[in-house]
Structure 1
Amino acid sequence: MKHVVNVATGREPDTDPRSLRARVLPREKEVLRDTYYLIDRKAGPSKRLTCGHTTIYPTGTTTGHAHEDMEEIYYFISGEGIMVVGEDRFPVKAGDACYVPPGAYHTTIQTGILPLTFVWNTCLVDGDEE
């Protein structure tokens, strides 16, 4: 007999009050993420590049922002979500890469059951070094 079940398709989490989901749903903001700066142009050898690692937890998002003087690349390591870049809104998952042009508003929304994890890199454009 074959019986295969995938946790990411069609399964709902339990409603136990000890779960992370139960503890974060009453929060006022939807931002629920951790970000680590790995290479920081303000405190490292590069004057143009910054690189970081972000994890968005279930039901969470990033703050959303724009960089007038930087372009950015996201590389998704795990999880599933929605990427918003300007007027565009599209699904992302592990293995996807996304380019964000200078000045474009962007935010990331976690949609799956696993945390959405990605590495991001920003680069100053047009010689705007500080």
Structure 2
Amino acid sequence: MRVRPDDVATMTFDWGSTKWFVTPRLIPGASQSLGEVIVNPGRGHARHNHPTAEEVIYVISGEGLQMVDDGEPFPIKEGDAVHVPMAAFHSTLNTTWRPLRLIVTYVPGGEEAALEQTPDFRLIEAASVQEWERAQ
């Protein structure tokens, strides 16, 4: 099954946005999740964990700092891959003025549903473009 970016909704947050292309909710029988994450310049997501899934982060473009398992943050850049073990606390921070673009997978899939419970979560329907507003 082919999924294009315009086929799926966009999750937005204070720190950036995510499009999930493969999830158990979207594709019957899928056992993993795969999406593209954009972390806005100078932003990042808070320390959190996924109690029932491991995560792999692949950096498409940009640079940032990654923390895994409450260890010392380390630099990440285009081409890097990071494995986050199940239940390990982690966070990602974009340290540049350019967007940090990531491919993220969860195994088993479904952990992305927890993002819908965060206070800054907003959903932009499929094939819509989010309008950005600069903070004063």
Settle same-fold status: TM greater than 0.5.
Answer: yes
Give the CA RMSD over aligned residues.
1.9
Change (3 A) 1:99 1:115: same
Query: Using the alignment, how far apart are the partners of 1:39 and 1:81 within structure 2?
Result: 25
- Work out whether 1:53 is the aligned partner of 2:36: yes
The one of 107, 110, 115 aligned to 2:91: 107
Query: Match for 1:67: what amino acid?
Result: H
Query: Match for 1:121: what amino acid?
Result: T
Q: Comparing both chains, which one has the higher relative contact order based on Cα–Cα distances under 8 Å and sequence gaps of 6 or more?
A: 2
Structure 1 spans left out of the alignment, 5+ residues: 1-29, 126-130
CA contact (8 A) 2:22 2:30 kept: no
Query: Using the alignment, how far apart are the partners of 1:52 and 1:64 within structure 2?
Result: 19
Give matches, 1:82-121, under 5 Å: 82-88=65-71, 89-121=73-105
Percent of residue pairs bearing the same amino acid type: 30
Normalising by the residue count of structure 2, what TM-score does the alignment of the two structures yield?
0.65
Deviation at 1:40, TM superposition (A): 1.1
Query: Match for 2:95: what amino acid?
Result: T
Deviation at 1:67, TM superposition (A): 1.0
Rg (Cα) greater in structure: 1
Deviation at 1:80, TM superposition (A): 0.4
* Alignment match, 1:76: 59
Query: Match for 2:81: what amino acid?
Result: A
Q: Could you report, residue by residue, the CA deviation over 1:23-61 in whole angstroms, capped at 9, with x for unpaired residues? A: xxxxxxx94201111111122134420011011111111
- Number of residue pairs matched? 96
Normalising by the residue count of structure 1, what TM-score does the alignment of the two structures yield?
0.68
Q: Could you report, residue by residue, the CA deviation over 1:56-109 in whole angstroms, capped at 9, with x for unpaired residues? A: 111111243211111110000111000111122111000000000000011110
Deviation at 1:114, TM superposition (A): 1.1
* Alignment match, 1:41: 24
SS of the residue corresponding to residue 102 of structure 2 reads strand
